[in-house]
Amino acid sequence: DVSPVVAGLIGATVLVVSVSLTVFVWTCCHQQAEKKHKTPPYKFIHMLKGISIYPETLSNKKKINRICRDKNGAPREAGRGNLLVDAAESGLVGSEKAPDGLSAAPRVDQLPIKVDYGDELSPDQSLTPGGSKTSSPSSPGDDVTLGELTFSVDYNFPKKALVVTIQEAHGLPVMDEHTQSSDPYIKMTILPDKRHRVKTRVLRKTLEPVFDETFTFYGIPYSHLQDLVLHFLVLSFDRFSRDDVIGEVVVPLAGVDPSTGKVQLTREILKRNIQKCISRGELQVSLSYQPVAQRMTVVVLKARHLPKMDITGLSADPYVKVNVYYGRKRIAKKKTHVKKCTLNPVFNESFIYDIPGELLPDVSIEFLVIDFDRTTKNEVVGRLILGAHSAGAAGADHWREVCDNPRKAVAKWHSLSEY
């Protein structure tokens, strides 16, 4: 015999459990139905020599490694020059990633100088001495023909997608005097927002490269095409130093009408005009060296006038990555907090490094301002180098003032350069 109270409690428990299970099952079914009709999260699709990537074959985190084939059609292992396409968005080489939950950067970092300083900087690391390499006798100049680039532009009205095919280049200059050839590849950006940045694979030892690579950019209304500009940057890959810039091609889509079908264009490659580059903004940093304690205090203060990096008109979530180099060897790296939705972030975060005074002439500090993105690859907004490998006179003067005035904090604004 069960009392009415106990019976009532048992009945209520059974009812609650039954309702909870019903709600859980309904929620799971509803989420599955939404996933089937959800718009793909990525912004473009890449097709290399007839190998297509269709939307239904991609997921949020999946990466697809392109397969290169030799002349006989046999697949071979992908090398450095092959393109890795992220399903969310393909970024430039050197983009920095941060985890979803970016932890707070510690305030103090003890830097033990216990590394083999004879090691050379790997090609994937970003520090380059002097900002740019000395031009070789065969570098492109005013009296050297830089060649031509052939590409096509098309528009897919049902999918609201801009389709750009980089076909080939002709008559490129010699950038490697040892092989009397070049290792060309192309970076393409859609201006003015720079939301879409892609690159082709590297073709080895050729002055007549045939890329035949197609990039499909979704979510671009046809009415907006007249406001867009295609920017092609032609480079020659260098395994041991910064890649050589051959030239650029700038094509406003205001004069191109792909409504009736694919439009094939051939444009002359022009010498890159650095003065036309959009400003990357400014960063204010403070340095102070304590000779007795042999400590360098680095304070990332704030940034201003950062470029618009997304469709909302904001450099969504900027943060700063600080790399310390001895010679060409990176010996420390730290990050600041992420600042949400601002083009003028204020960081006020300090880092302390133990650096012996006799090593200061060979030490460099690199600041990378990065736009953090939770769903796609992070994008480097700009870079600043202070110390032995300062790219400009302002950086060298700042470092010299810090070394000449021990125990004094020296804060200055610096213009960010392109990464």
| DSSP letters for 236-285 | E--SSSPPEEEEEEEEEGGG--GGGS-EEEEEE-B---GGGSPP--EEEE
Domain boundary among 224, 242, 271: 271
pTM score, whole prediction: 0.42
Tens of pLDDT, residues 150-176: 999 999 888 888 899 999 999 898 888
pLDDT at 78: 39
- E strands present in 99-156: 148-156
Whether residue 125 is contained in a domain is answered as: no
User: With bands split at pLDDT 50, 70 and 90, how would you rate the model's confidence at 48?
Assistant: low
Whether residue 294 is contained in a domain is answered as: yes
Residue 37 CA to residue 45 CA, distance in Å, equals 19
Residue 144 CA to residue 135 CA, distance in Å, equals 13
Collapsing DSSP to helix, strand or coil, 224 comes out as: helix
Q: Cβ(365)–Cβ(385) under 8 Å?
A: yes
Whether residue 179 is contained in a domain is answered as: yes
Cβ neighbour number for residue 96 with a 10 Å cutoff: 19
Residues 192 and 314 in one domain: no
Residues 226 and 328 in one domain: no
User: With bands split at pLDDT 50, 70 and 90, how would you rate the model's confidence at 190?
Assistant: confident
Collapsing DSSP to helix, strand or coil, 326 comes out as: strand
**Nearest alpha-carbon partner for 395 in 354, 358, 367:** 367
pLDDT at 349: 94
Tokens for 55, please give them: 């939307």
AA letter at 283: L
**Number of structural domains found in the chain:** 2
**Nearest alpha-carbon partner for 365 in 317, 398, 318:** 398
Cβ neighbour number for residue 418 with a 10 Å cutoff: 11
Residues 296 and 204 in one domain: no
130-134, 250-254, 302-306, 310-314: range with lowest mean pLDDT? 130-134
76-85, 288-297, 347-356: range with lowest mean pLDDT? 76-85
DSSP letter at 220 equals: -
pLDDT at 347: 95
Mean pLDDT of the chain: 74
AA letter at 368: L
**Nearest alpha-carbon partner for 188 in 226, 234, 155:** 234
pLDDT at 177: 79
Collapsing DSSP to helix, strand or coil, 404 comes out as: helix
The residue that leads in pLDDT, 214 or 139, is: 214
Residue 5 CA to residue 148 CA, distance in Å, equals 89
User: With bands split at pLDDT 50, 70 and 90, how would you rate the model's confidence at 335?
Assistant: very high
User: With bands split at pLDDT 50, 70 and 90, how would you rate the model's confidence at 37?
Assistant: low
| Pair type for strands 263-268 and 75-76 | unpaired
Domain boundary among 271, 296, 329: 271
CATH of the domain at 304: 2.60.40.150
pLDDT at 395: 86
Residues 246 and 317 in one domain: no
Tens of pLDDT, residues 221-278: 888 888 888 899 999 988 776 778 898 998 888 878 888 888 899 999 988 765 444 5
Q: For residue 314, what are the domain limits?
A: 281-416
Tokens for 33, please give them: 């139905």
DSSP letter at 37 equals: T
Residues 296 and 410 in one domain: yes
Residues 193 and 300 in one domain: no
Whether residue 39 is contained in a domain is answered as: no
Average pLDDT on 74-88 reads 38
Q: What percent of the chain has pLDDT over 90?
A: 26
Whether residue 95 is contained in a domain is answered as: no
Residues 177 and 265 in one domain: yes
The residue that leads in pLDDT, 106 or 210, is: 210
Q: Cβ(19)–Cβ(11) under 8 Å?
A: no
**Tally of residues, the chain:** 419
Q: Cβ(387)–Cβ(365) under 8 Å?
A: yes
